[in-house]
């Protein structure tokens, strides 16, 4: 009876626990702001604590630092940070501990003890902890750090009692505490406004530098085992690089001196949504601080999806389109911290999103690098732009340019082509070597090719650094002697050059450019004796330039069909156009960075296995799925019209899904709750059956905020010619049709609310 009663009581307790509401998240903070450091003359009887003596055992030498400059803004930073945590982010004042540097409260012992007890030990799974430090940073020599970085130096923060013989708090001591947070399920954010360098003097007049001189009398021999805290999801934002000082502003608009980094961060946090994403917060903070200190580069360490979430790990506000911040404003010119890496170019129009009002647009005037561009205000220029304003691409003029570059090579005299064909047909030549009929299927060991610079044939080994041997007269005797020198039985590809009439006719035009260097080419013209062994017959194909070294290319067709010389001019031009369309789709980039969280996946209908890359086998059937990575937030994901088309290894494109009926995802049925991480595109068991031709197949997933007119016309072509249809009026549809047609030019006013993703799968014949 007793045992039964206990079991019933346990069940009752469990049911009661389930009935209780979920425990609310608790947000804790430890804030340290040190302006004044304790002086030995004021504490003549100071004795080291037991903890300090233990910490000293890890240090070689005796701390000998005598002077630490005073700061003006660290305590102001600490007070302002506490205020914004309470007013903006819902921290309870009772859960915030502030350690000022005016007395012993900000000692090394207290910092380390409260980091552990307040932020780790007292927190429960699901809680949020913040460590903020403003004050001097310094460095210490670490002999073991040579294995981790080239400098052999670790960063430190300088506690208030550092002049009393207490060692700095080393980065590895902090990291060991930080690393406990993710193991316990605590979301930890670390913000440090201190310098990570020694006493370098890169400051600016009228500013102080938060860099305490390093102590040359001491060093450590210390390693850190296990993964770094940031690799486990701890968010770390710091004011400068590990070799840079951090500056103070003696006069600011926030009631007195402040660290430049904290001043900028407070402005951004005060003007942003409390749930703004970390990457946007950092982007604006960096731009604003660099408007006053151009040489100080802050650091963001955010992995495990932290950059796409809020400052304290919460779900970020909707709207994940690519953004760029204004770093400086010079007259009418707005300097932007974004450029080629964001796919910005002349003519792109960006709208201001922070502050949202008054509405304002700027137009890109020039792009000078991966992360730098100049813009001017469009329309009414009376509305000011300020450093830190955040912009999002609204529309762009998309330059298409040459989508495919081909190398035709120099022609050879007809007599030399005939000589090569005679050699290939001579059975005596096969006594000492094997001919490689197709280098895309059978990698040759040696290559015989025509060199127009000397008007002679060459023999070379198939490796990049091989030196050619010149052949005075191409015949069976010369080839047999060269083959004998290899010490084996070589496999040789005889590369037949094009006759002059063919090279003259191969000016494809449209979106295909003929280049003069093999190194510049996407595809090269290969020639070989006809496989059908017809006397005097030559056939040609476009092939990848590195096909001899790597015949199994995984992202585009290795070559086109072999085309006999009699049909070559027209057929090779058409094949080049087909390759240009494939290249155009492969190079088309989304205007937004990872804006839409879903991507393509295939589910094997027999095994249930889900595939996102790799190889598939002929005869297998797959369902088409949309999936989202666990690290991405789907809440608030914008609805998109989805189109999926596949370009096979022969360049044929087929629309697999997207006829503007039931192609909107996430579907409206998911609007009331959290969207699922996986959606089937159709209700069929088998959406895709793998069949010939086998090779590299590219699947393109296009997601657009608006429907695409005539998707079957745009996304279906046979590798030679796109099916005709009326020119669409929508700018995005015009862009997509231009890519499919392989045409040059530019398309204006293309909106930014679309994205394209490519998945490459290698299809192989069924196993026998």
Q: Which tens digit of pLDDT belongs to each residue from 88-102?
A: 899 999 999 999 866
- pLDDT at res. 273: 79
Within-domain flag for 6: no
Instruction: Point out the least confidently predicted range of 6-10, 149-153, 176-180, 216-220.
Output: 6-10
Rounded Cα–Cα distance for residues 13 and 8 (Å): 9
- Rg of the Cα trace of the chain? 33
CA separation for the pair 507, 61 (Å, rounded): 75
Residues 285 and 374 in one domain: no
**Are 239 and 365 found together in one domain?**
no
Q: pLDDT by residue (tens digit) across 681-693? A: 888 889 999 888 7
Domain assignment present for 176 = yes
Supply the pLDDT for residue 200: 26
In a domain, 264, yes or no: yes
Looking at residue 115, its pLDDT comes to: 97
Instruction: Please tell me which residue, 667 or 3, carries the higher pLDDT value.
Output: 667
pLDDT at 403: 66
Do 526 and 655 reside in the same domain of the chain? no
pLDDT at residue 768, as a whole number: 43
Residues 441 and 528 in one domain: yes
- Looking at the fold, whether 663 and 616 belong to one and the same domain comes out as yes
Q: Is residue 4 part of a domain?
A: no
CA separation for the pair 131, 152 (Å, rounded):
26
Top-confidence residue, 136 or 710: 136
Q: Specify the DSSP element, H or E, that contains 366.
A: strand 361-369
Out of 344, 374, 396, pick the residue that ends a domain.
396
Q: List the alpha helices (DSSP H) in 591-746.
A: 711-715, 731-741
Judged by average pLDDT, the poorest of 111-120, 155-164, 608-617 is 608-617
Q: Are residues 390 and 408 in the same domain?
A: no
- Are 737 and 598 within one domain? yes
Res. 579: pLDDT tops 80: yes
Number of Cβ within a 10 Å radius of residue 115: 23
Same domain, 571 and 600: no
Q: Phi/psi class of residue 256: alpha, beta or left (left: φ > 0; alpha: ψ in -120 to 50)?
A: left
pTM strictly above 0.85:
no
33: nearest Cα among 69, 73, 65: 73
Claim to verify: residue 112 and residue 249 sit in the same structural domain? yes
Say which CATH number the domain at 331 has: 2.40.30.20
| Max intra-chain CA distance, the chain | 107
Residue of 284, 439, 282 lying closest to 354 (CA atoms): 284
Domain range spanning residue 175?
A: 27-308
Here the CATH number for the domain that contains residue 272 is: 3.40.50.1460
In angstroms, rounded to a whole number, what is the distance separating the alpha carbons of residues 568 and 649? 20
Domain membership flag for residue 51: yes
| DSSP collapsed to 3 states, 566-609 | HHHHHHHHHHHHHHHHHHHHHHCCCCCCCCCCEEEEEEECCCCC
Domain endpoint, select from 369, 396, 423: 396
Same domain, 556 and 633: no
Determine, yes or no, domain membership for 710.
Answer: yes
Number of structural domains found in the chain: 4
Report the candidate in 439, 410, 392 with the shortest Cα–Cα distance to residue 277. 392
Among 273, 308, 343, residue at a domain's last position: 308
Choose from 196-210, 223-237, 365-379, 579-593 the range with maximum mean pLDDT: 223-237
Quote the mean pLDDT of the chain.
80
pLDDT digits (tens, 9 = 90+) for 336-349: 987 755 667 778 88
CB atoms within 10 A of CB 514: 18
Is residue 44 located within the same domain as residue 95? Answer: yes
In a domain, residue 22? The reply is no
Geometric angle at alpha carbon 193, from 187 and 197, rounded to 5°: 115
Same domain, 526 and 603: no
Q: Could you tell me whether strands 187-193 and 128-134 are parallel, antiparallel, or unpaired per DSSP bridges?
A: parallel
**For residue 509, is it within any domain?**
yes
């Amino acid at each position: 009876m007793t045992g039964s009663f206990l079991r019933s009581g346990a069940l009752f307790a469990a049911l009661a626990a389930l009935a209780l509401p979920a425990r609310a998240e608790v947000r804790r903070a430890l804030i340290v702001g040190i302006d004044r450091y304790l002086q030995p003359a004021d504490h003549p009887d100071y004795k080291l604590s037991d903890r300090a003596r233990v910490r000293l055992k890890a240090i070689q030498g005796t701390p000998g630092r005598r002077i630490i400059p005073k700061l003006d803004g660290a305590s102001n930073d600490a007070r302002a940070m506490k205020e914004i945590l309470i007013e903006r982010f819902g921290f309870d004042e009772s859960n915030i501990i502030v350690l000022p540097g005016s007395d012993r409260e900000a000692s090394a012992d207290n910092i380390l003890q409260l980091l552990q007890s307040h932020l780790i030990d007292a927190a429960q799974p699901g809680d949020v902890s913040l460590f903020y430090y403003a004050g001097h940073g310094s460095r210490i020599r670490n002999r073991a750090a040579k294995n981790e970085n080239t400098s052999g130096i670790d960063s430190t923060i300088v506690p208030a009692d550092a002049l009393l013989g207490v060692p700095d708090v080393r980065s590895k001591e902090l990291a060991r505490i930080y690393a406990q947070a993710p193991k316990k399920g605590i979301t930890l954010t670390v913000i440090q406004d201190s310098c990570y360098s020694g006493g370098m003097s890169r400051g600016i007049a009228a500013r102080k530098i938060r860099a305490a001189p390093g102590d040359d009398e001491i060093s450590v021999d210390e390693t850190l085992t296990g993964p770094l805290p940031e690799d486990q999801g701890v968010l770390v934002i710091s004011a400068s690089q590990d070799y840079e000082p951090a500056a103070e502003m003696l006069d600011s608009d926030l009631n007195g001196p402040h660290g430049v980094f904290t001043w900028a961060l407070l402005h951004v946090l005060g003007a942003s949504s409390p749930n703004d994403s970390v990457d946007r917060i950092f982007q604006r903070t960096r731009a604003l601080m660099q408007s006053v200190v151009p040489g100080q580069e802050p650091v963001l360490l955010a992995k495990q999806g932290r950059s796409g979430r809020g400052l304290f790990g919460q779900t970020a506000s909707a709207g994940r389109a690519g953004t760029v911040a204004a770093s400086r404003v010079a007259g009418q010119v707005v300097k932007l911290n974004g450029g080629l890496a964001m796919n910005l170019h002349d003519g792109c129009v960006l709208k201001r999103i922070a502050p949202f009002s008054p509405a304002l647009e700027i137009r890109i005037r020039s792009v000078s690098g991966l992360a730098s561009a100049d813009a001017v205000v469009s329309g009414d220029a009376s509305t000011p732009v300020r450093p830190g304003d955040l912009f999002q691409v609204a529309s762009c003029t998309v330059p298409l340019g040459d989508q495919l570059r081909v190398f035709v090579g120099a022609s050879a005299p007809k007599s030399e082509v005939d000589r090569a064909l005679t050699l290939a047909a001579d059975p005596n030549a096969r006594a000492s070597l094997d001919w490689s009929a197709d280098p895309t299927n059978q990698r040759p060991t040696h290559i015989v090719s025509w060199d127009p610079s000397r008007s002679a044939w060459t023999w070379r080994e198939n490796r990049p650094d091989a030196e050619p041997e010149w052949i005075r007269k191409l015949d069976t005797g010369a080839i047999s002697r060269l083959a004998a020198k290899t010490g084996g039985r070589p496999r040789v590809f005889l590369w037949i050059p094009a006759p002059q009439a063919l090279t003259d006719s191969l000016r494809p035009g449209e979106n295909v450019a003929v280049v003069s260097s093999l190194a510049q080419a996407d595809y090269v013209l290969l020639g070989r004796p006809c496989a059908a062994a017809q006397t005097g017959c030559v056939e040609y194909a476009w092939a990848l330039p590195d096909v001899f070294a790597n015949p199994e290319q995984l992202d585009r067709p290795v070559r086109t069909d072999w085309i006999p010389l009699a049909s070559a001019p027209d057929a090779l031009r058409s094949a080049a156009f087909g390759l240009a369309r494939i290249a155009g789709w492969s190079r088309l980039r989304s205007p937004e960075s990872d804006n839409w969280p879903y991507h393509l996946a295939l589910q094997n209908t027999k095994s249930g296995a889900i595939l996102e890359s790799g190889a598939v086998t002929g005869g297998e059937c797959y369902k088409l799925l949309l999936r989202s990575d666990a690290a991405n937030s789907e809440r608030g994901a914008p609805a998109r019209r989805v189109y999926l088309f596949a370009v096979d290894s022969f360049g044929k494109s087929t629309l697999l899904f997207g006829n503007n009926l039931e192609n909107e995802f996430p579907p409206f049925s998911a609007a009331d709750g959290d969207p699922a991480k996986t959606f089937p595109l159709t209700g069929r068991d088998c959406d895709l059956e793998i069949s010939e031709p086998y090779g590299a197949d590219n699947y393109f997933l296009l997601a657009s905020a608006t429907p695409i007119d005539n998707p079957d016309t745009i996304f279906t072509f046979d590798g030679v010619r796109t099916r005709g249809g009326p020119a669409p009026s929508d700018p995005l549809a015009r862009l997509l049709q231009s890519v499919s047609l392989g045409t040059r030019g530019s398309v204006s006013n293309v909106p930014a609310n679309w994205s394209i993703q490519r998945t490459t799968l290698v299809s192989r014949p069924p196993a026998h």
